Amino acid sequence: MSKLDLRSKKTWGALASIAVVAGTLASAFAWTAGWLGSRTVSQALVGETPKPFPPGFRRAHGKGICFAGTFVPNGSAVSLSTSRLFSQPEIPVVGRFSIGTGDPHAPDSTTKTLSMALLLKTDDKQQWRMAMNNEPYFATRNPEGFLALRQATAVDAATGKPDPQRLADFLKAYPEAEKYLKWAAQKPAPGSFAGATFYSINAFYLVNAQGERQPVRWMMRPHDPFFSLSDEQRKKADDNFLFESLRQRLAQKPLYWDYVLQLAQPGDPVDDPSRPWPDNRKQMVAGTLEVTRVEAQSVGACRDVNFDPSIVPAGVAVTDDPVLNARSAAYSHSFSRREREIGYGKATEAVQKQEVK
Ligand code: HEM
């Protein structure tokens, strides 16, 4: 091998090119790791409570159950979108019900937030992933606001309560959150998954064969009736009452939800999830989801799925909603962490296996 001639311009030119390549790779790595740029915010959005966090579980909505089902469209939305979801006779569904807490062992009464996530694979090899909550709108217009809300409502160690001044400062910066906080304070505690309505919250575009874009939001409206539990009933309820009653209910017969699209009118905000559209906007039932059986998440098909709502098929497009975009980054951080823990054999309970030493 010939020696490096450090006096030659050619050698210095080659070294400079290598430095550029190495520098680019290092920056790309730092960006991927979230050490640079706005991704630091998306990493900060991924909390880990309880601490230490049990490996292999989702960093949010950690307690959940997989389900299998079928989506049957009724054909009414074919003029709005080319997605096969609206025209294929039926689409198999891998889904997940969860509650809105990071702790996979939390009692079901810890939160009033219930969720449904869906992975729909159509026969044209496209995928639509959805993750919905039982809340019609979001607290803040952007993800920074969501982070600020978390900090403003954190319990002060000295008083055992959130600091009122911090909350007042937060509401000054994010006045839109007042509506959500008032609503959340009197939100009834759902007594079942079966009777809960799940909302997309973020807006999306449906795109038809002519390339026309119709902004929509949607909800999954249950056939089962909604019922709520009093504080007293929740205190007495079993730690797994929501998941247990779901199992029992499905052992009898399937559950159904109508997929209801809400169509925006010109001027309705598509990039602000804290501003629901007026109730008089046109709604249409585009199909029905049938849920037939559940399976533990440690072994079920939903375990290794990242229900990133920005994964949409042809015929659907994402909006510029900053919360939607932040969700994609945050879910990806959470997904990489849990899959790495599973891959390195650290996730025992999350996958029902012994730890690999
Ligand atoms: C800035 C706002 C938000 C952040 C940072 C956030 C963060 C997260 C994270 C980190 C996960 C775990 C992902 C995984 O490991 O697979 C998750 C799951 C989930 N989120 Fe969010 N989220 C946000 C907003 C929302 C909104 C607006 C909704 C409802 C429309 C929602 C519904 C869900 C659901 C249903 C799951 C569970 C999905 C599953 O079953 O795997 N999130 N979220």
Overall average pLDDT of the 35-43 stretch: 59
Which residue among 42, 43, 61, 332 is best mutated to probe the pocket of ligand 1, counting the most ligand atoms within 8 A of its Cβ?
61
Write down the residue that tokens 């119709």 correspond to: 214
224 exposure class (CB count in 10 Å sphere: 0-12, 13-18, 19+) = middle
For 331-350, write each residue's pLDDT tens digit. Answer: 999 999 999 999 999 998 99
Write down the residue that tokens 């375990």 correspond to: 303
Q: How far apart are CA 212 and CA 191, in angstroms?
A: 41
Helices (H) and strands (E) in the chain, counts: 8, 12
Check residues 6 and 123 and name the one with the higher pLDDT.
123
Q: Across all residues in the chain, what is the average pLDDT?
A: 92
Overall average pLDDT of the 315-333 stretch: 97
For 286-309, write each residue's pLDDT tens digit. Answer: 999 999 999 999 999 999 999 999
Which residue among 66, 119, 307 is best mutated to probe the pocket of ligand 1, counting the most ligand atoms within 8 A of its Cβ?
307
* Pairing of the two strands 283-296 and 64-73: antiparallel
Task: Provide the pLDDT confidence category of residue 66 given band limits of 50, 70 and 90.
Answer: very high
Q: How far apart are CA 156 and CA 158, in angstroms?
A: 5
Which residue has a Cα nearest atom 10 of ligand 1? Answer: 331
Q: How far apart are CA 182 and CA 250, in angstroms?
A: 34
Which residue has a Cα nearest atom 13 of ligand 1? Answer: 331
Three-state secondary-structure class, residue 314: coil
Three-class secondary structure assignment of 74-119? CCCCCCCCCCHHHCCCCEEEEEEEEECCCCCCCCHHHCCCEEEEEE
Q: What is the DSSP string of 142-195?
A: SHHHHHHHHHHTSBPTTTSSB-HHHHHHHHHH-TTHHHHHHHHHTPPEES-STT
Share above pLDDT 90 across residues of the chain, in percent, rounded to a whole number: 83
61 Cα to the center of ligand 1, angstroms: 7
